[in-house]
Amino acid sequence: MAEGDSIFRLAARLDAATAGAVIARSDVRHPRFAGADLAGEEITGWVPRGKHLLARTAGGWTVHSHLRMSGRWSVLRPGRRLPRAVAADLRIALHLVDGRTVAGIGLPVLAVLPTRDEHTVVGHLGPDLLGGTFDGDAALARLRADPGRAVLAALLDQRVVAGLGNMWAQELLFLERISPWRECSAVSDPGTLLGRGRALLRDAVVRNPAQNTTGRVRPPHFVYGRYRRPCLRCGTAVAFAPPERTPHGRETWWCPRCQR
């Protein structure tokens, strides 16, 4: 699943490639928004919001998407078409006046709405860890709002804080030596935890696009995806819980010794 840093980089790439471009015609393959017509609209920018992506136009329209596990965006050169197998998953195509096409492929979440109504699709999100005006106090308040909740479940809840996905949240807890099952009320310094999460994502945007947390070629992660393999700190076998055995419904890895 694309995490906050991936969406941030994608937004920057799409913004650099298409901001200022004019849409000649649009093709929206979504039953609810199939009638949307963005012809003549100028793309003013692509904006990341946690793990959500917003493409805005000068006429006050927004294309909202969430990639989850399958989605992606591509900019096709003039005359280039998607392979037939990929074209079957096309969800939206913005055909630009200059002959290029901005294609949204396999997008599980897609909406075309007035920019003034963006709050209906991203207004529920907590403070964005990659936002330029990150509100740390608001994030702390949301994290502390349910003191008995497991800290991993809270970090993955985008209503608490936006941008952390499963990989970053679990690696963050390992780095801070915090059990994923520890209750939020038992986290001694949640401000430092959120600060390090923000630092990890910002570093990934600038110089760590491979999302490598160990600094090694192999393994690239400390606990994520490393069930039964030795912890890189203490040698203890990394533990694992399948989604159906977790309160947050996600695969979970941790070191039983480092993260007591």
Which residue range is the domain that position 247 belongs to?
136-254
Whichever domain contains 25, its CATH number is 3.20.190.10
Look at residue 60 and tell me whether its pLDDT is greater than 70.
Answer: yes
Judge whether 237 lies within some domain: yes
Closest CA to 148 of 109, 119, 187: 187
Mean per-residue pLDDT of the chain: 96
Structure tokens at 107: 């997008």
Report the domain count for the chain: 2
260 inside domain: no
* Tens digits of residue pLDDT in 146-180: 999 999 999 999 999 999 999 999 999 999 999 99
SS3 96: strand
The domain that holds 220 is classified in CATH as 1.10.8.50
Q: Does residue 128 belong to any structural domain of this protein?
A: no
Whether 246 and 197 map to the same domain: the answer is yes
Whether residue 219 has a cis bond before it, omega within 30° of 0? yes
pTM as predicted: 0.94
> Same structural domain for residues 170 and 243?
yes
Q: Is residue 129 part of a domain?
A: no
**Any alpha helices (H) in 60-177, and if so which ranges?**
84-87, 119-122, 136-144, 151-156, 166-175
239, part of any domain: yes
Q: Which of 122, 147, 172 is the last residue before a domain boundary?
A: 122
Structural domain contains residue 113: yes
156 and 187 both lie in a single domain: yes
Q: How many CB atoms lie within 10 A of CB 254?
A: 24
Q: Is the pLDDT of residue 189 over 90?
A: yes
Q: What is the DSSP letter of 209?
A: T
Name the band, by pLDDT with cuts 50, 70 and 90, for residue 2: confident
